[in-house]
Amino acid sequence: MLNISKTIDNGKAVYTLKGRLDTVTAPELENDLKDALAGITSLTMDFAELEYISSAGLRVLLSAQKTMNKQGEMKIIHVNDTIMEIFEVTGFVDILTIE
Amino acid sequence: MEPIRRELTIDATEGNLAAAQEFVESVISGTDCPMKTQMMISLAVEEIFINIASYAYAPKTGEATITAELQDHSSMLVLTFRDRGIPYDPVAKEDPNLHVPVEEREIGGLGIYMTKKIMDAVLYEYRDGQNVLTLKKNLV
DSSP B54: I
Q: Using alpha carbons, select from B48, B42, B135 the residue that is nearest to residue B88.
A: B48
Distance CA A83, CA A79 (A): 6
CB A16 within 8 A of CB A46: yes
Query: Taking CA atoms, what residue in B is nearest to A82?
Result: B36
B67: phi then psi, degrees, rounded to nearest 5: -115, 130
Interface test with B, best of A20, A54, A96 (most B CBs within 10 A): A54
Stated as kind and residue range, the H or E segment containing B122 is strand B121-127
Q: What are the extents of the domains in chain B?
A: 4-138
Distance CA B71, CA B117 (A): 21
Give me the mean pLDDT over the A36-40 stretch.
Answer: 95
Interface check for A3 against chain B (CB to CB < 8 A): the answer is no
- Quick one: three-class SS letters along B65-119? EEEEEEECCCCEEEEEEEECCCCCCHHHCCCCCCCCCHHHCCCCCHHHHHHHHHC
Instruction: Name the band, by pLDDT with cuts 50, 70 and 90, for residue A93.
Output: very high
Mean of all residue pLDDT scores within chain A: 96
**Burial (Cβ within 10 Å: 0-12, 13-18, ≥19) of residue A41:** middle
**A54 interaction partners in chain B (CB closer than 8 Å):** 43, 46-47, 50, 111
Rounded to a whole number of angstroms, the distance from the CA of A56 to the nearest CA of chain B is 8
ipTM of model: 0.91
Task: Say if the Cβ atoms of B42 and A52 lie within 8 Å.
Answer: yes
CB A45 within 8 A of CB A37: no
Asked if the model's pLDDT at residue A10 lies above 90, the reply is yes
Give me the mean pLDDT over the A41-59 stretch.
Answer: 97
Query: Taking CA atoms, what residue in B is nearest to A92?
Result: B98
Instruction: Name the band, by pLDDT with cuts 50, 70 and 90, for residue B1.
Output: low
Give me the mean pLDDT over the A33-60 stretch.
Answer: 96
- For chain A, which domains are there? 2-94 (3.30.750.24)
Write out the DSSP string of A19-71.
EEESTTTHHHHHHHHHHHTTT-SEEEEEEEEEEEE-HHHHHHHHHHHHHHHHH
Mind listing the pLDDT tens digit for each residue in B35-81?
999 999 999 999 999 999 999 999 999 999 999 999 998 999 999 99
Task: Say if the Cβ atoms of A82 and B110 lie within 8 Å.
Answer: no
Distance CA A60, CA A66 (A): 10
CATH of domain B4-138: 3.30.565.10
Percent helix, strand and coil across chain B, each to the nearest 5: 35, 30, 35
Give me the mean pLDDT over the A7-22 stretch.
Answer: 97
Query: Taking CA atoms, what residue in B is nearest to A1?
Result: B18
DSSP B139: -
- Predicted confidence at residue B104, as pLDDT, reads 85
